[in-house]
Structure formats: C-alpha cells, structure tokens
Amino acid sequence: MPSQSDDQEKEIDSLRAALAKSESERKSLAAQYEDIKRQLQEALDGNKALLALLQDLQGKLDKLLFQTQKRNKKDFGQKNEHHNPSPAPPLDVADSSELDDIPPTPQPKDKANRNHKKHALKDNNLPVRPVAHKVKADKLCCPTCSIDTVFVKNELSYQLERLALSIVKLEHQQEVRSCPKCKQYIVTAEKPCPPIPGARCAPRLLASVIVHKLSDGLPNYRQCKIFKRDQATIPRSTQCDWIIAGSLTLEPLYELLKRKVFESHVIKTDDTEIKIQDRLHKNKIRKGKMTPYVGDAFHPFTIFDYSPDKSFARNNLMLKDFSGFVQCDAANGFDQVFLDGTKSEVGCNTHSRRRYYQAQQFAPAQCITILDIYTKLYAIEAQVKGKKAEEILETRKTRSKKLFDELLENILSLKNTLNPTNPLMEAVDYTLNHWVALTRYLDDPLLSICNNESERTIKDFVLCRKNFLFAGSDAGARAAAIHLSFIASCNRNDIDPVEYLADVFSRINDLKVSELEQLLPDRWRPQIPAD
C-alpha cells in the first residue's frame, strides 16, 4: 500500500509537469505574440510607404490633369479669361462707408445692343463718289396729264465698293534739253530717287508687299497669285529681295527709332520664337526669337529686335545702357538684365492672375476669391485711365494697396495647406516670388498693372507667322524685325502703314541723316504732291 509521502511526491511531480507545460505554452504564446506584433508593424510600415506612394501618385495625376486641361483649353477652348465676380456679402449699415473704396461691378449690357455697336459700319470718313441714275426716257412724260415731269430731288442711298487696285508700269520720261547755240549745255530732268537702286519696284508697291506679308498675313507666294490676276509676274524670290533691300534703306531711320524708344521712362518687352531656315546645315530649321520693345506714352514707338537663338544675350545687349523701368514676364533670362541696379523690374499681374484662372478645378473657392480681387484691381485701373498722375497715384495707394494686402493674406493662408505638387501651389509661389515687381506699379503713375500692351504687339506678328511659317535666313528675319517696328509704330500713332512706308521710301534717300526725324511716325506728315 503506497504511503502518503509517495502520493504527495506524485502530486508534486504532476504539478511540476503542468507548470513546465504551461511555461512552454506561455513561451510559445509570447513568441507568437512577438511574431504577430512584428508582422503588424511591418504591415503598418508598408501602409505608410503605400500611403506616401499614393500621395505622390495623386500629386502627379493632378499635375497631368492640369496640363491636359490647360492644353485642351489652348487647342480647343476659348482664348479669353473672362471671370464673373462672385456677389459680395451684404454690408452692415456701420460698414457702408467701405462702399466708396470698392469699384462698382460692371453691369452686363444688352447683348444685342453690344453686338450691334461692335459690328456697326464706320464709313463716315470714306470719300463719296456720286453715281447718277436718270429716269428712263419712256417714263419722263406723265401718262395722265401727258406733260413732261420736272426734277424734284435725288433719293440717296449708299453702298460700299472696292475699286480695283491694279499694277501699272510707270514710264519715267525725263526731259532732256540742250543749248541750241553752243550745243554743249545739256540738262536732264530729275526723277524721284528709287527706294531700292536698280530695282523696278516703286515706293507704294514695295510698301504694300511688306505690309501685306507682315501685317495682313499674306505670304509672298499668295501675293504672287494676286499679282498674276493683275497680269504681273513678280516671283517670290524677287519679293524677298525687295523686303531685305527695303530694310537696308530704312535702317538709319530704324536706329533713330531705337534711340527714341530707349529714352523712355518705362519699356515693356516680351518675346516670341521665329523659325529660321539654316542653309549651312542641310536646310534644317532652327529657332530664334523676336522681341518687341514698347516705348512709353511720351515716346510712342515700338521696335522689334531679332535674335538668331533663344538666349537672352540680345536682350541684355539691347537693355545694357538703358536706365529706368522694364516691364516683362518673369522669365529667368531677364534676371541678368537687373543685376547692374540701373533698371527696376515691373511685373505683369496678368501672368499671375492667369495661373489662378487655370487652377480653378483644383481649388475653385480659393481661386474665385483671388480672381475677384484681381477683377477689382483691374476695374480700378479702368477708372483712373487717362486721369492726372496725382489722382492715379492717390487712388492706387488708398484702394489698390488694400486689395493687394487682402491678396497677400489669402495666398499666405493657402501656402500652408497645399501639397507641393498642387497646381495652385505653382500660382502661389509665382505671386510670392515676384511680389515686389507685381506691386511696384502702385508707387508710380506711369507704370501699368500688366504687360498686355507688349502681348498685343506680339499677337499681330504671331498671326502672320502662322502663314509664312519661317524666315529664309537671318537677313530675312532681321529685315522683318525692322519692318515690324515701323508697322507697329504706325499702329500706335493711328497711321496707315502702307501710306507711311510709301511716302518714306519716296523721300528717305533724298534726306540727310540730320533730317530723318521728320519721318518719325509721330512727326510724319504726308507729302503733298506738286501740281
């Protein structure tokens, strides 16, 4: 019979076995817990990496969507950037004094009346050519009274007609006279000096070829067809030679025009590319650029300068000796222009505004708020246009300055909430990086809120460039820049460029360099032909 001590020992052994088993199970559970904890941490770390990757992909997708929308709008959408201001919240009676500082929102006009005024014929300055219509002979007698009718009045009505423009061959008959006694004195009548020595083009024909190509968008090959309808054959190569030779005739006047432009207080500039045929490298096409320089209101001239490449070396050279204000876009190449400290940069608020207009789909509420501020700023400029300098400056400092403070507050609040890849962040960074240049116009009444005048100057050339595609050589591109300078300056002074160039070509070779100022567009008066 087992003793009590043996039973206790067995019980103790069983307890020890149970404890050992539980300890083994505890260690196994602890190992499983650590393994699960490790797997969970790895999963969390993986989710963070996936989240970061997802955010990066979302940013890239937003950027691609923005670029796609921007390109679609450029290719297929409207070119304007119209923005209808959101209605302002009602003001309390205590705040009604603020109404004086807010420009009135332009009210929409009746569309039919607006279109009628826009498309109405303006023919009051046209010469009138009477065309008489007589009553037929069989109707002169009254059928009732059997007596002849008498004249009462003329019923007047009007039509617009284009008289056929034809090319004629001018036969210059220079009279030659001699002394009948000595037979030694012989005199020949003088004829006008031709615009291009040795060429057969007269001043008006040369002027029309230039203006039709560079202002009306008619390439030389199309002009060939027009000339052919007038029974004249003028090859395209001949027209190109005329354009280049004509630019050489105008070059002294172009240099004078350039000096006048750089006497301005502020110069507006921009650039656009032009393709040039490079005949030294198997007729390849390379890219240069055309740069306009728009003088201020006291120097109402515009010049174009041609650069054989797209670098800013020509810009730096042209503006090297200029001191004053230069209004341009924020291209990095212009930074070199301002390093010497003699020139101050004036920014273009249209470029800044455009970025918020394009980013509306990503942050409509924020962009609309900013666009409303820009609408008020441009409305103020429309109100003060043409007023005295003191009034312009006072209005800008009291009203526009407050709006810029509000604009700065809005974009600073946006900067801390936007993803760096958000397209709206690009607009915010642009505005903040160029804030000093964008607000510089507030301190000078002669400065403008934007560089639209320079943009409009380029637009005429860009429309013509779509037709002639490229320049045949550097000489041809430089000739185009010289002629574009006179066409743009004529447009600024409300002068017909054909009439101006025709008169200048007929007179410039007979004038001294010191007399060229009378041919500047703002001083030009058409020469009265002798009877």
Say whether both 301 and 370 belong to one domain: no
Residue 224 clears pLDDT 80, i.e. is over it = yes
347 by DSSP, 3-state: which?
coil
287 belongs to a structural domain: yes
pLDDT in tens, 329-368: 888 888 888 888 888 999 999 999 998 888 887 778 888 9
Say whether both 292 and 387 belong to one domain: no
User: What is the structure's pLDDT at 93?
Assistant: 35
The domain containing residue 252 runs over which residues?
203-314+471-519
Phi-psi sector, 231: left (phi>0), alpha (psi -120 to 50), beta: left
Q: Are 480 and 242 in contact (CB under 8 A)?
A: no
Phi-psi sector, 146: left (phi>0), alpha (psi -120 to 50), beta: left
Across 226-235, average pLDDT: 89
Say whether both 225 and 309 belong to one domain: yes
pLDDT band at 486 (very low <50, low <70, confident <90, very high): very high
Say whether both 310 and 228 belong to one domain: yes
Q: Are 509 and 206 in contact (CB under 8 A)?
A: no
Say whether both 304 and 240 belong to one domain: yes
For tokens 């007269």, the residue is: 202
pLDDT band at 86 (very low <50, low <70, confident <90, very high): low
How many structural domains does the chain have?
A: 2
pLDDT band at 464 (very low <50, low <70, confident <90, very high): confident
Q: Are 154 and 186 in contact (CB under 8 A)?
A: no
266 by DSSP, 3-state: which?
strand
Q: Any idea which of 72-86, 305-319, 347-361, 455-469 has the lowest mean pLDDT?
A: 72-86
CA 238 to chain centroid, in Å, comes to 32
96 belongs to a structural domain: no
454 belongs to a structural domain: no
Say whether both 212 and 300 belong to one domain: yes
d(CA 287, CA 309): 6
119 belongs to a structural domain: no
Across 63-77, average pLDDT: 69
Reading the block at residue 396, the tokens are: 């800008």
Q: Give the pTM.
A: 0.76
Query: Amino acid identity, residue 401?
Result: K
48 by DSSP, 3-state: which?
helix
In terms of Cα–Cα distance, which of 164, 241, 149 is closest to 195?
241
455 belongs to a structural domain: no
d(CA 48, CA 45): 5
Reading the block at residue 270, the tokens are: 């921009």
Q: Which ranges constitute the DSSP H helices of 77-92?
A: none
d(CA 81, CA 492): 25
399 belongs to a structural domain: yes
189 belongs to a structural domain: no
251 belongs to a structural domain: yes
User: What is the structure's pLDDT at 87?
Assistant: 53
Q: Of 443, 458, 492, which one is at a domain's C-terminal end?
A: 443
Of the CA atoms within 13 Å of residue 313, those in its CB half-sphere come to 6
pLDDT in tens, 109-134: 555 555 555 566 677 778 888 888 88
User: What is the structure's pLDDT at 437?
Assistant: 92
Say whether both 435 and 475 belong to one domain: no
